[in-house]
Amino acid sequence: MSELVIKNLHVSIEGKEILKGVDLTIRPGEIHAIMGPNGTGKSTLAYTLMGHPFYTVTEGEVWFKGQNILELEPDERSRLGIFLAFQYPVAISGVTVANFLRTALNAHRRAFNPEDKGIPIPEFRKMLQEKMNLLKMESSFAGRYLNDGFSGGEKKRAEILQMAILKPEIAILDETDSGLDIDALRIVADGVNALAGPEMGVLLITHYQRLLNYIKPHFVHVMLDGRIVESGGPELALHLEEHGYDWLREKQDNGIYA
């Protein structure tokens, strides 16, 4: 088990600086929530951690399992044990959910043992059905093309299903609650809670307290203008729900976060 350590991370997009010195440590068993207004860099942080090529790291380091992962390709980061659930998952027509998940799982297995011939199909089917039951998904879901024609709730459950199969040590959930009605939100949250545990650190990115009513964070961080400006416990999210972000902007205007 390893912690994810982000040190003084600066990130730009097309020459515009978005992240301006992010420091954060996520340890196994911890659930961290990052909140903040639109355009403050929350999703930029998620995509940078996973290695999206559009984001340019200009300064800083991100350490996991003794490696600066900024030097690794996205697939290498995934095989190392980092997972990103997308806010807007991409549809892949012609590739079934089951085939996608088995291919991804086998790639992870071969990272540890190049001679691994892949998980036997009966064993995989049993595992897949167990995880789908956990997320209250019908068996027919496995035979559908990945995210093709899926509702918002189905897309998010497919992301959590991937997490259940791959068993990452660091899970990054980028606004997993967006576009979900209350029933879908509860199912997705139940799935995350069932998977979270002492061997997995979780980074939740969200705008709203409602997700945190179901997934209880140990730490809440507020991002403003590309930096984490406030950190606390779950009570911080409740304060934001009641008072919004104006009090943080006032602090910023007064130079407190300079």
Distance CA 238, CA 25 (A): 22
Is residue 258 one of the residues assigned to a domain? no
Is residue 233 one of the residues assigned to a domain? yes
Is residue 11 one of the residues assigned to a domain? yes
Mean pLDDT of 236-248: 88
Distance CA 161, CA 134 (A): 9
* Per-residue model confidence as pLDDT tens digits over 128-150: 999 998 888 889 999 999 999 99
Band of residue 241 on the pLDDT scale cut at 50, 70, 90? confident
Residue 85's domain comprises 4-253
SS3 label, residue 246: helix
Number of domains present in the structure of the chain: 1
SS3 label, residue 87: coil
| CA distance to 195, 204, 221, per residue, from 20 (Å) | 32, 20, 15
CATH of the domain at 95: 3.40.50.300
* Rounded CA Rg of the chain: 18
* Per-residue model confidence as pLDDT tens digits over 172-211: 999 887 778 888 888 888 888 888 888 899 999 988 788 8
Is residue 76 one of the residues assigned to a domain? yes
